[in-house]
Amino acid sequence: MEINPERLKLARLRRKMTYSALATATGLSSKSVAEYEKYDSLFSPSEQTLSILASILGYPVSFFYGKEVDFVDPSTVSFRSLKNLKAAEQHAAEAAGSLGVIINNYFEDIFNLPCLNIPNLRDYEPEVAAEIVREKWGLGVKSISNMVHLLEANGVRVFSLAENTLDVDAFSFWKNDTPYVFLNTQKTGERSRFDAAHELGHLVLHRHGSPQGKSAEEEADNFASAFLMPKRTILATKMAFPTLDGIISIKGNWLVSSVALIVRMKNVGILTEWQYRSLMVEATKRGLRKSEVNGIARERSLIIDKLLSSLKKEGIGIFGLSKMLSIPTDELTHLLFRPTVINGDGLNIGSSNNKPSLKLV
């Protein structure tokens, strides 16, 4: 039985290794490593060689014999800091997206997940699009209590990231008519919420086009700002003499960062240019571009908690799931909002034609 070359490539990209680096680590030639990743390769690695590759990459040998990988198309992925992003980090993040698709396909095979409810608003201005989505989802102008739960309830598959760089803060893409969002766990709670709304903007505004470039990022930012902070509620804010402390005291109404609220107040016209600049200078001096006063907890997936809880009742914990999917436990926990390994194991799950149905409450 021959290996699936795509899976060798995925594992290598996840570990941020070039052909040369993997060759050096394994004692192979770069040419051999590159050849192993080709579908029309003239030769495949021996069992001994594959064992060495698996050991260096930290993936079980069984992973390389799995089904074809549904690779994420780089042109469909939005990265907010693409200009500063190193190629290895970008490829590793995209590979994490491919792992997320594998995990989601497994979940969809045994559970009924929320149906897609994301409108295609490509021809709309971000502000208008935000209002349309709020109306479609029955939100009115009320504050959103949890962005991750809201996305999941409307069919978005949300995963976490533990990338060792803030340049990969979040990204999203469509795959087989399913929307995905990946959120970096290193951000503050407020910034992670904004990232989630920003990625929703990409999903709504750029579904059938490239979500990349300065213009697309600005559109997604404007959508996120309008979606989290409806114009009507911002205009209703009475602040004759805006101060940073005053803004800090009310930012909890929308669960956003101080800086995001300052920008939104300026954009809707209740701050002058001078007030805006003064507040931003003070916010920068007080470190509010990277941290928050009275910050909120980072949001996490509700659906993944429910899925894992249901699996555990069937005798399968995170270690068992790792074995079933042949995905390393560290990769799995980082994608499933679990920064540390949790207890619980199991080897298989009974087959059934009746899929457990999950409902968000």
- Residue environment code for 24-55, b if the CB has 16+ CB neighbours within 10 A, otherwise e: ebbebeeebbbbbbeeeeeebbeeebbebbbe
CATH superfamily of 5-69: lambda repressor-like DNA-binding domains (1.10.260.40)
In this predicted structure, what is the pLDDT of residue 278?
A: 97
Asked if pLDDT for residue 239 goes beyond 90, the answer is: no
Q: Tell me the two tokens of residue 230.
A: 């409806």
Contact 209, 236 (CB under 8 A): no
Amino acid making up residue 292: E
Q: DSSP letters along 176-211, please? A: TTEEEEEEETTS-HHHHHHHHHHHHHHHHHSTTS--
CA angle 216, 217, 218 (to 5 degrees): 90
Residue pLDDT, tens place only, 149-192: 999 999 999 999 877 655 677 899 999 899 999 998 888 899 99
Contact 23, 30 (CB under 8 A): yes
Which of 201-210, 270-279, 301-310, 339-348 has the weakest average pLDDT?
A: 339-348
In this predicted structure, what is the pLDDT of residue 79?
A: 78
Residue pLDDT, tens place only, 10-51: 999 999 999 999 999 999 999 999 999 988 777 789 999 999
Pairing label, strands 178-184, 157-161: parallel
- DSSP H or E run through 158: strand 157-161
Contact 168, 89 (CB under 8 A): yes
Contact 344, 312 (CB under 8 A): yes
In percent, how much of the chain has pLDDT > 90? 73
Instruction: State the Cα–Cα distance between residues 154 and 113, nearest whole angstrom.
Output: 10
> pLDDT-derived band of residue 75, with 50, 70 and 90 as boundaries?
confident
Asked if pLDDT for residue 355 goes beyond 60, the answer is: no
Q: Where are the domains of the chain?
A: 5-69, 76-228+301-361, 231-285
- Reading phi first (left if > 0) and then psi (alpha if -120 to 50, else beta), residue 4 is in beta
In this predicted structure, what is the pLDDT of residue 338?
A: 84
In this predicted structure, what is the pLDDT of residue 351?
A: 36
In this predicted structure, what is the pLDDT of residue 339?
A: 64
- DSSP H or E run through 159: strand 157-161
Residue pLDDT, tens place only, 98-157: 999 999 999 999 999 999 999 999 989 999 999 999 999 999 999 999 999 999 999 999
